[in-house]
Amino acid sequence: MLFFDPHLYDLSNAELWVAAGLLLFFGILIFTGAFKMVGAALDDKANKIQSELDEAARLRAEAEALLAQIKLEKAEAEAQAADMLKAAEADARRLEEDAKVKLEEALARRQTLAERRIAQAEAQATAEVKAAAAELAIKAAEDILAARLASQKRDPLVDDAIAQMGTRLN
């Protein structure tokens, strides 16, 4: 047994003085409260670490809340964009239909105008043909009359036709 060895308690033994110094050192530490200071320092460090962990947890909760809010806003923005796209497509379809209706109306007006112009051109051409026919008839009648006058013969049929020509031309 190590504690009952008589050589251990000899004052010339270095191990005795090391043990005594160690006991004296621990006694001074207890007397000065070094263990309390070390414990307080460790408690302060643990409290600091705990507060940092609490702050990190709070920041994480805020970040998760912010992420959830951003996801919600993103979903709302996507829904709003989809609604705007649908509205734009509906407006485009409505504008296309309005343009088709206006185009059809414009084409109908132009067709009506073209038909009127054609009818006027036909009427004018008919009048010009009648006028040309009348001029030819008059010219032929003048030629016949001139030939008759030159021969001094009278043709009763030609006289009747000339008399009726004035009433028929008008």
pLDDT, tens digit, 9 for 90 and up, residues 117-157: 999 999 999 999 988 888 888 888 888 877 777 776 666 77
Are 41 and 33 within 8 A, CB to CB? no
Amino acid at 103: L
Q: What was the pLDDT predicted at 59? A: 97
- The model's pLDDT over 48-101, given as tens digits with 9 standing for 90+, comes to 999 999 999 999 999 999 999 999 999 999 999 999 999 999 999 999 999 999
Lowest mean pLDDT across 4-13, 32-41, 43-52, 54-63: 4-13
Q: Which of 5-14, 34-43, 66-75, 147-156 has the lowest mean pLDDT?
A: 147-156
Most confident of 4-18, 23-37, 41-55, 146-160: 41-55
Measure the CA–CA gap between 153 and 158, rounded to whole angstroms. Answer: 11
User: For residue 37, what pLDDT is reported?
Assistant: 87
Q: What does the pLDDT read at residue 116? A: 94
Is residue 128 within 8 Å of 122, Cβ to Cβ?
no
Q: What is the DSSP letter of 140?
A: H
Query: What's 152's DSSP letter?
Result: T
User: Which pLDDT does position 142 carry in this prediction?
Assistant: 80
The sign of the dihedral angle between the CA atoms of 80, 86, 90, 96 is positive
- Look at residue 162 and tell me whether its pLDDT is greater than 80: no
Q: Which residues contact 144 (CB under 8 A, 6 or more apart)?
A: 158
The span from the first CA to the last CA of the chain, in angstroms, equals 166
Query: How far apart are alpha carbons 19 and 24 in whole angstroms?
Result: 9
Question: If you ran DSSP here, which 8-state letter would residue 9 be given?
Answer: G
Burial of 68 (0-12, 13-18, 19+ CB in 10 A): exposed
